[in-house]
Structure 1
Amino acid sequence: MNASFPVRLNGVHIRFLTSGLLAAFVLMALLILPGRAFAHAALVATDPADGAVLAQSPSQFSLTFSEPVSPLVLTLVRPDGTQLPLNSYRLDGQTLAIDNPEALKSGTHVLSWRVISEDGHPVGGSVLFSIGAPSAAPVAGEAVDWTLRTAIWAAKLLLYAGLLLGVGGAFALAWLAKDRRCGQRFVAVALLFGLVAAPVSLGLQGLDGLGAPLARFATPVVWKTALETSFVWTVLIGLIALGLALLSLAGPPGLRKLSASAALFGVGAALAASGHASAAEPQWLTRPLVFLHGAAIAFWAGALAPLGLALRKQPAEARTFLARFSRAILPVVAVLAASGIVLAIIQVQAPAALVHTAYGRLLLLKLALLLFLFTLAAVNRWTLTAPAEAGDTEVQRRLMRSIGIEMLIVLAIFGVAAGWRFTPPPRALAIAAAQPVSIHIHTLQAMADLSITPGHAGEVAASVMIMTGDFGPLDAKAVTLVLSKPDSGIEPIKRPATKPGDGTWRVDNLVIPLPGRWNVRLDILVSDFEMVKIEAPIDIRAE
């Protein structure tokens, strides 16, 4: 990491590398372009179900997510297009129960929702249902605000630059550099960028949470929303770290190393306070790994600019800096690689997700950049470091140019990491896919709660709780589950249920071949002479 290719780079090579890095940024944009601004939480069930036709107006709605959420904006869009804010709700674990304040008229309604997940990222969507008979659906939905998305990405990139290059640079100047003047101006500018980007990022978080345009940036409700997210802790801790790093540059000599060390600690803590990786389970493992990963990146990336400037302006004094950095960097890279690998395994889970998800494709792009960076670093570490420390001026110049290349690659990696803000990790998608789908069937003769796990096409298990029509116990002699999908030409699939002894009836090893809306029927043998049949539609997800 502290070295350069063992070949001289001319202007053509530099232009070629710059063009390649610009192409990497364009590729990153294309990778995330098809997706919407998903977050860590995913909707797994609704009541009413999406597309349901109800005989009468429901008294409440419910949304069940893959993890606990906090509501931001809940709106009911009537058939005529008018909107009704929904302000009365209750949170019960992962389910959001919403009171319906009025009797709904006939036609198609849209329940529009926007919530924020534990990792501080907002997610929104809508559910369509009809009263009496369907009508033309009112317009409800959220177009991607590319201006806001670009601002969020840019602010996150500048925040990374402040925390990782600024704080890391201050630590390198305090602990590794012999002459603190080389690179001090660059570090100070990076810290100032971070100090500006941190509160701006927080405000943009509030805008994104509410789905509001940039013009509302200064409104109180935007900042109130932002302060209620977990990202506020990243910003607060980050601001403290940036302030301590500035103190290490301008403060008394006795406090420089202490302030710089506390600032580096703050970088790891800030990154671990929110985000996809920190919110993953088990958090006793993921949060410390994010802390170590962030601190290691800051140590490595932050030292590059001060070291390169020292080699250019004061090559003799830079040899001490280079020797200290060379001795310390190997264990730092080991921590960086180990923590990154474990976090990637937790987030991706299956190798196929590297290709089939936007998150995985961004990770592949980051790994390609890291491979280039690690290869460059390895060649430099074992080829050029010793001659540079010995005072070979030509090698020192090549080393300085190499550090410039490393800085470009590091910035490209920061850009990729900032793009993860708009993609759900495969782990979150897998959690959502594993969630069951459930329906309640209620008739005068009998009622049932049916749950199919997981709620997508493929091999599943069905669990049924049956009762009488007035919620009394129903001791059935036998229960048969019947699934059919006439619109796809699939004849009824009949499976007898077993009673394991816990009060439920189960059907294991059931294969549902296609996603979509299925008709489910329960044939309940009440006695030798009485059979009760109840049925309802159920929506099976694709994945």
Structure 2
Amino acid sequence: MAHASLTGAVPADGAVVNAPPKTLSLSFSEPVSPLVLRLILPDGQSKTLETFVLRDRTLEIAAPGDLAAGTHVLAWRVVSEDGHPVAGSTIFSIGAPSSAPQAAGEAIDWPVRTALWLARIAMYAGLFFGIGGLFAVRWLIPDGAAGLPVIKMALLLGFSATVVSLGLQGLDALGAPLSNLTDRAVWSAGLATSFGLTVVVLSFAFLLALVTSSRATFSGRAASLVAVVAGSAAMALSGHASSATPQWLMRPAVFVHVVTIAIWIGSLPPLAYALQHGGDAARQALGRFSRLIPVCVAALTAAGLLLAIVQVQTFDALVSTAYGNVLLAKTALLVVLFLLVVANRWVFTKPAERGELGSARRLARAIIIETMIALAIFAVAATWRFTPPPRALAIAAAQPVSIHIHADKAMAEIAVTPGRAGPVELSAVILAPDFTTMIPKEVTFVLFNPQAGIEPMRRKATLQADGVWRASGVVVPIAGQWHLRVDILVSDFELVRLQDTIEIPR
């Protein structure tokens, strides 16, 4: 379920080094923040690694000074830029491999995941029916004030769910069970993610709406406007769109999408209350609603299409990814909702505006059905919390696979871009034993896969202006473990060969 992916490690995954490393490093496809770093020793004991430096997308970790020979597992858990936790491990051996120690697997904690999903639904309900409903009562449908008790309940539900979701986010970030919800470290971890800022701003919006919900004066109207703006802005501070580019376009698109949903969906319960009471005020409110909502629907549809295009990218991803499947399910429910909206507008609204007997009550019942469909959409959309968008998957797939190979006379930092089977580019930085840049006369890459019966493929590299040797147009026909050799012609009389294995994924 990773939203950021590991692109390289030192020592490389599966590497055998002669001496204990002084520094361990992990490189990722996007900036991350470390949560838990553990080194599992050959005897099965675990050491927590607390000394590290974060340099852009690379995490440099100070290794313990008393590492023994054998196989070690570096287990890591970080939070990606969009606020979602990512976990994994790499293996390296000192001297020679030993039986690998067991690292805890990344099993799905269904109680935590279910609680996160339910909290997200309640948070949406509070935002759209609570904050959005209060805005509707104060600005669009004053006659719907009879629904204020329901609106206050939605606000309390949303505020409670938002606060609890911070702790649940911390559990998910640390991989802790639901029983640890009261631990202070769990809440600190949740607050440290980008979702923590969403919780802070959204909680402010809920509290403002709750405190001013009984005020029908100008201050109450102004507070409802601030609450709906702050609540919508909060949703743009974390999540998939927070790390998508260009953010100057994506974050406003999320804001427009959320604020228009809040105005539209939040108006439904107050409008149903007003219609049940009837009268001129209800008909006037229906007229205002009928004029405003088409504009809101058009804006949220345009913003939603933009977000979908950026996140999904290809039609194939709609079917082949979990994110695309959720989008299809949400779209199907939206189609049903839009059809009902059209029916309400052309079948029920005109008679209700004319005051025909029973028409207002029929429209109110139809609005209640719309509300139920909206709740179903919230439930479907809440599952996006657990599905990386195709955009993120494509970025991860395009990241290079890298290895470090060294010998007595030279070493090389080699990258295969993109890090998957198919057409790739091979690149290498050649270094002297003292880590200074070496400029050899010639560099040749050699790839072969004996298990698959593939003989050596040789590609001569070209030195670029940035000091990197590159060979383009190389095709890795299948995924799997490949042998990669670099032939470095240091002089007319000296050839250094560096060789290691590299895992090429699909």
Give the TM-score range, shorter chain: over 0.9
The question of whether the paired residues in 2 share the 8 Å contact of 1:118 and 1:230 is answered with yes
Instruction: Give the counterpart of 2:46 among 83, 94, 101.
Output: 83
Return the offset for 1:512: 0.8
Counterpart in the other structure of 1:487: 451
The question of whether the paired residues in 1 share the 8 Å contact of 2:417 and 2:424 is answered with yes
Q: Which amino acid aligns with 1:164?
A: F
Q: Which amino acid aligns with 2:225?
A: S
- Whether 1:113 aligns to 2:79 is no
Mapped to 2, the partners of 1:413 and 1:321 lie a distance apart of: 26
Cα distance change, pair 45–502 in 1 and its aligned pair in 2 (3 A): closer
Counterpart in the other structure of 2:17: 54
Return the offset for 1:252: 4.7
Cα distance change, pair 180–400 in 1 and its aligned pair in 2 (3 A): closer
The question of whether the paired residues in 1 share the 8 Å contact of 2:119 and 2:165 is answered with yes
Cα distance change, pair 511–351 in 1 and its aligned pair in 2 (3 A): same
Counterpart in the other structure of 1:124: 87
Residues 4-403 of structure 1 mapped to structure 2, 5 A cutoff? 38-131=1-94, 132-314=96-278, 317-403=281-367
Map Cα deviations across residues 461-493 of structure 1 (whole Å, 9 max, x no partner).
Answer: 112222444445544333221101112222111
Return the offset for 1:313: 3.7
Mapped to 2, the partners of 1:170 and 1:64 lie a distance apart of: 47
Mapped to 2, the partners of 1:136 and 1:233 lie a distance apart of: 40
The question of whether the paired residues in 1 share the 8 Å contact of 2:487 and 2:498 is answered with yes
Cα distance change, pair 371–252 in 1 and its aligned pair in 2 (3 A): closer
Return the offset for 1:201: 0.8
Map Cα deviations across residues 361-397 of structure 1 (whole Å, 9 max, x no partner).
Answer: 1111111111111122123223321111111233323
Mapped to 1, the partners of 2:282 and 2:339 lie a distance apart of: 23
Mapped to 1, the partners of 2:91 and 2:42 lie a distance apart of: 11
The question of whether the paired residues in 2 share the 8 Å contact of 1:315 and 1:396 is answered with no
The question of whether the paired residues in 2 share the 8 Å contact of 1:172 and 1:302 is answered with yes
Return the offset for 1:244: 2.6
- Provide the TM-score with structure 1 as the length reference: 0.89
Mapped to 1, the partners of 2:490 and 2:213 lie a distance apart of: 81
Single out whichever of 153-162 and 519-528 deviates more from structure 2. 519-528
Return the offset for 1:235: 1.4
Cα distance change, pair 136–478 in 1 and its aligned pair in 2 (3 A): closer
Cα distance change, pair 382–106 in 1 and its aligned pair in 2 (3 A): same
Single out whichever of 308-317 and 449-458 deviates more from structure 2. 308-317
Single out whichever of 121-130 and 262-271 deviates more from structure 2. 121-130
Mapped to 1, the partners of 2:92 and 2:101 lie a distance apart of: 9
- Whether 1:418 aligns to 2:382 is yes
Q: Which amino acid aligns with 1:214?
A: L
Q: Which amino acid aligns with 1:107?
A: G
Secondary structure of the structure 2 residue equivalent to 1:183: helix
The question of whether the paired residues in 1 share the 8 Å contact of 2:404 and 2:413 is answered with yes
Secondary structure of the structure 1 residue equivalent to 2:72: strand
- Provide the TM-score with structure 2 as the length reference: 0.95
Q: Which amino acid aligns with 1:69?
A: V
Higher relative contact order (CA 8 A, sep 6+): 1
Counterpart in the other structure of 1:26: none
Mapped to 2, the partners of 1:83 and 1:253 lie a distance apart of: 61
Single out whichever of 265-274 and 135-144 deviates more from structure 2. 135-144
Where do 5+ consecutive residues of structure 2 fail to align? none
Q: Which amino acid aligns with 2:305?
A: I
Single out whichever of 478-487 and 493-502 deviates more from structure 2. 493-502
Secondary structure of the structure 2 residue equivalent to 1:109: strand
Map Cα deviations across residues 408-433 of structure 1 (whole Å, 9 max, x no partner).
Answer: 11111111221111111111111111
Cα distance change, pair 231–468 in 1 and its aligned pair in 2 (3 A): closer
Secondary structure of the structure 1 residue equivalent to 2:419: coil
The question of whether the paired residues in 1 share the 8 Å contact of 2:163 and 2:199 is answered with yes
Secondary structure of the structure 1 residue equivalent to 2:145: coil
The question of whether the paired residues in 1 share the 8 Å contact of 2:447 and 2:482 is answered with yes
Return the offset for 1:179: 1.8
Mapped to 2, the partners of 1:198 and 1:509 lie a distance apart of: 51
